[in-house]
Amino acid sequence: MAKRRPVGEMLVSVQLGRVVQIDAEKVSRGTFFTTDDRWLNQPVKEFLSFAFLEQTSVGKTASVLDPFAGDGHLLEVLAETYGVETSGYDIAGGQWPVNDSLKKVPNPQGSVIVTNPPYLANHSAKRKGVNSIVASYFKQGYDNLWKLALDRCLASADYVVAILPETFLLSTFPKDRLAVISVIEGQLFDDTDAPALVACFGPASVSGAGSVFINERLIGSLARIMECRGKGGRRGKPAHFNIPDGRIGLRAVDGADGNTPIEFLLAEDFDYPRSRVKVSSRLMTYLELPTLTDAELPGFVIRANQLLNSIRVESHDLVLAPFKGNMKNGRRRRRLDYELAREIIARSLS
């Protein structure tokens, strides 16, 4: 039986059994404070103006509640911009009433909720040695605290604006109340480089398919963008992944240098060591296409890369998960998940 690590010891090397000490209290809260106001851009401002108008049209006072208020930065910005009443909760207390908003968000005034919820994945909690503190939250059916937090906020308010990880776009979290999404280029936090977006939710009666912006530039509806992913490559098994002696290489992540994008390659053109391919490999790997002869492989590589690049352009890269910051050319690095890779392979073969 594996030895249980003390709370606050984060595992950094399985092979060496190496751990480092972390601030367990901060990490378990999943707290990252916003330090940049670019989240309140024009699409978000227009959504909030509509939400406040809806409040006053039924005789309510325009007000904002942040259930995860932290240092109160979001509320300060909104009070200054709109002159609305503000209130907040925080599990740590401080200037706010103490409340565990991952359990319930009291909202007696029916305020618009604007928040930057906690981010902490189940697997990260285990690796960082804080699982014993937060384990009860993950029993609610979500694998990240931001999902549970967002669920609680949506249950408590008609209008919710939340700063979320960009991975929200590809998540299975329900999006039926989603009205506006603004993907923020640049860094919103001073203690993490996690790519973020602002998601604006309304009552189902006023929400649409989810208009997607990159900053303030309208890209299209979320449904239309996600159509670029196709059917998920569920048409049999045209490719076998993570085959060390496979004839096709796959670089499934953009290189930080900006010169090595996601790409399918002939194995002889791929310099990744075959010995490093594991069953769990997700970024660099080799694959095998048993239905193709050696002579057919170059044509397949051309078609697959053409389709991949077409999908990237058409979706503005949003159907690919963000990965660890930007490239040197300023573009956000992306990762190709194997479900979409299978779709590209299946379409390229047919």
- pLDDT per residue as tens, the chain (350 positions): 345 545 544 443 444 445 344 444 444 444 555 566 889 999 999 999 999 999 999 999 999 999 999 889 999 999 999 999 999 999 987 889 999 999 999 999 999 999 999 988 876 667 656 676 777 887 888 889 999 999 999 999 999 999 999 999 999 999 999 999 999 887 665 555 678 899 999 998 666 668 999 989 999 999 999 999 987 655 567 899 999 999 999 999 999 888 899 999 999 999 999 999 999 999 999 999 999 999 999 999 999 999 999 999 999 999 999 987 777 777 788 999 999 999 999 999 98
List beta partners, residue 88.
66
Closest residue by Cα to residue 199 from 247, 135, 153? 153
> Structure pTM?
0.83
Closest CA to 248 of 228, 216, 274: 274
Q: How big is the chain, counted in residues?
A: 350
Detail the DSSP E strand segments found in 166-241: 178-184, 196-201, 211-214, 217-221, 240-241
CATH node for 10-228: 3.40.50
Q: Where in the chain is the domain with CATH 3.40.50?
A: 10-228
Query: Which stretches does DSSP call E strand in the chain?
Result: 9-13, 18-21, 63-66, 85-88, 112-115, 160-165, 178-184, 196-201, 211-214, 217-221, 240-241, 248-251, 263-266, 284-288, 321-326, 332-335
Secondary structure of residue 70 in the 3-state scheme: coil
**Structure token digits, residue 239:** 């490719």
209: closest CA among 177, 232, 234, 186? 177
